[in-house]
Amino acid sequence: MKLSIYRYDPERDRRPRMQDYDVAPAPSDRMLLDLLIRVKALDDSLAFRRSCREGVCGSDGMNINGRNGLACITPLAGLKEPVEVRPLPGFPVIRDLVVDMTQFFAHYHSVKPYLVNDEPPPERERLQSPQERAALDGLYECILCACCSGFCPPYWWNPDKYVGPAGLLQAYRFIADSRDRATRERLAFLDDVYRLYRCRTIMNCTEVCPKNLSPSRAIERIRAKLLADGL
């Protein structure tokens, strides 16, 4: 199977280049990550991240034939050859397919991705009704692979100021949580021309999310909450 992989080592290369590989997949190889591991056995200078290799850890987000996705859950069958593999667009490259996620996680931390509740804790736990719990479905499953933010033009344009789809999905996950008491502060933080309102509703985020989540819907709900709060 033919692959064309982005190669860049800032310490040695003046500019990035695409390197072609032709690797025969073993019968047990089903996903693109299996093939990348085979490439690495041939050429150990190739760098990429992977950990759980089953779509849970979110380490191997990359651009595959022009679309962001997780290599570990992208089936080899159906991939157009040569398979063009690039790092997540818009992220600074550390080496080959490994990108610098510092800013991405800074945005994630900026939305306070944890419950804020200063009320005295009950003896056992803060209970939720089944409906309140169901409000978190489609939000809590995010694995922070950055496929969405790496496919979001406004995030490419203002990566330092726009929180991006992943961060905003997480922000809404805590706004929607019945146990959280900081909704007002969270909304006030997001009511900003950059942090939230750079979203141009392009919806690439929802299009590429490997977990089938919808950051664009979460962003819409934050806007609706802000509007309801402002009236």
Kindly list the residues in this chain that would bind other proteins in the complex (CB under 8 A): 153-154, 157-158, 190-198, 200, 223, 226-227, 230
Q: How far is the CB of 225 from other proteins (least distance, A)?
A: 10
Nearest approach, Cβ of residue 91 and other proteins (Å): 18
Based on CB atoms, which residue is closest to other proteins, 8 or 172?
A: 172
Q: How far is the CB of 88 from other proteins (least distance, A)?
A: 20
Q: What are the E-state strand segments in 50-180? A: 61-64, 67-70, 83-86, 93-95, 98-99
Cα separation, 184 vs 33, whole angstroms: 43
How far from 63 is each of 32, 89, 118, 170, CA to CA, in Å? Answer: 12, 7, 42, 23
Q: For residue 95, give every residue at least 6 positions away whose Cβ sits within 8 Å of its Cβ, in sequence order, or none.
A: 8, 9, 10, 47
Q: Look at residues 110, 116, 104 and name the one whose alpha carbon lies nearest to residue 174.
A: 116
DSSP code for 177: -
Rounded distance, CA 97 to CA 69, Å?
A: 13
CB of 223 to other proteins, least distance (A): 7
Q: How far is the CB of 193 from other proteins (least distance, A)?
A: 5
Nearer to other proteins, 143 or 168 (CB): 168
Work out how close the CB of 71 gets to other proteins at its nearest, in angstroms, rounded to a whole number: 30
Tell me the two tokens of residue 60. 């191997």
Nearer to other proteins, 27 or 230 (CB): 230
Q: At what angle do helices 183-190 and 164-175 cross, to 10 degrees?
A: 160
The residue among 109 and 200 lying less far from other proteins, judged by its C-beta, is 200
Nearer to other proteins, 173 or 195 (CB): 195
Return the number of the residue (90 or 154) whose C-beta is nearest other proteins. 154
